[in-house]
Amino acid sequence: MGDRSVAIVTGASRGIGFVIARALAGAGYDLAICGTRTETIEQAGNRLADEFGIEVLARAVNVADREQVQAFIQQAAKHFGRLDVLVNNAGITRDTLAMRMKESDWDEVIATNLSSVFHASQAALKPMMRARKGRIINISSVVASMGNPGQLNYCASKGGIDALTRSLAREIGSRGITVNAVAPGFIATDMTAELGEEAQRKLAEQIPLGRLGQAEDVAAAVVFLAGDQAGYITGQVLHVNGGMYM
């Protein structure tokens, strides 16, 4: 078993997942990261390894595929000889009104955002239970609590994550494993940048802190929940949304 703690982050080739991985690297973790494309996830892994001098295992994995995601978790635990933290971050949207939503829009979002969290967590439990220690952190969304027109599938997947988080926390608390969710609000990403300045200003007006969040705001909450100081927190959904929902 290595000296350094090990964290897995799914969906870490870009966006919030990459920034979470970078923050964990900065906090001294070795990493196993996955994304959809080999080239981009390997680039992300090389960047983090060079910048922080840590070991990074980077793999293309479709988290919607039970066998692939469970094999990845097992490979990471075997490679590093330990698994301290699992961050279930990978997620997609297939937005459209309920009346027009195709079965595939529903199935893909539920498989990628929700079933993946069950499958990855199930695989992570084995090494964590053996160590009687572990942290599972699931990336939810403010819309799980608020609802959002055109995002029935996405909201259902994130609401499912919040409920799964509470159930698993109750089930495995006695094994020294905590399970929490982080629910971001509107975060400035490539996606929100495309909205244009006017739309972003309108969004910011609905937020008490008067600005969109940064991926770093989400990553800081994840690093906190992963760390020793959060040892008595489990089954919670930590909202990182500038006050837009409270």
Query: Residues, the chain, total?
Result: 246
What are the phi and psi torsion angles at 196 (to 5°)?
90, 165
**Segment 49-78, which members bind ligand NAD (CB under 6 A)?**
61-64
Q: Under rule CB under 6 A, how many of the chain's residues touch ligand NAD? A: 27
Point out which residues pair with 31 in neighbouring strands. 7, 56
Which positions from 81 to 120 touch ligand NAD by CB under 6 A, shown as an x/- string? --------xxxx-------------------x--------
- Compute the distance between CA of residue 158 and CA of residue 178 in angstroms, rounded to an integer: 19
- Compute the distance between CA of residue 154 and CA of residue 217 in angstroms, rounded to an integer: 22
Q: How many Å separate Cα 180 from the centre of its chain? A: 11
Residue with Cβ nearer ligand NAD (14 or 175): 14
- Compute the distance between CA of residue 30 and CA of residue 74 in angstroms, rounded to an integer: 16
Kindly report the number of other CB atoms within 10 A of residue 53's CB atom.
Answer: 8
Kindly report the number of other CB atoms within 10 A of residue 81's CB atom.
Answer: 10
**Segment 138-197, which members bind ligand NAD (CB under 6 A)?**
139, 141, 184, 186-187, 189, 191
- Nearest approach in angstroms of CB 131 to ligand NAD is 26
220 binds ligand NAD (CB under 6 A): no
- Nearest approach in angstroms of CB 32 to ligand NAD is 13
- Nearest approach in angstroms of CB 172 to ligand NAD is 22
Residue with Cβ nearer ligand NAD (45 or 134): 45
- Nearest approach in angstroms of CB 147 to ligand NAD is 14
154 is catalytic: yes
Q: Where are the beta strands (DSSP E) in the chain?
A: 6-10, 30-35, 56-60, 85-88, 134-139, 177-184, 237-240
129 binds ligand NAD (CB under 6 A): no
Query: Where along the sequence are the contacts to ligand NAD (CB under 6 A)?
Result: 10-17, 34-36, 61-64, 89-92, 112, 139, 141, 184, 186-187, 189, 191
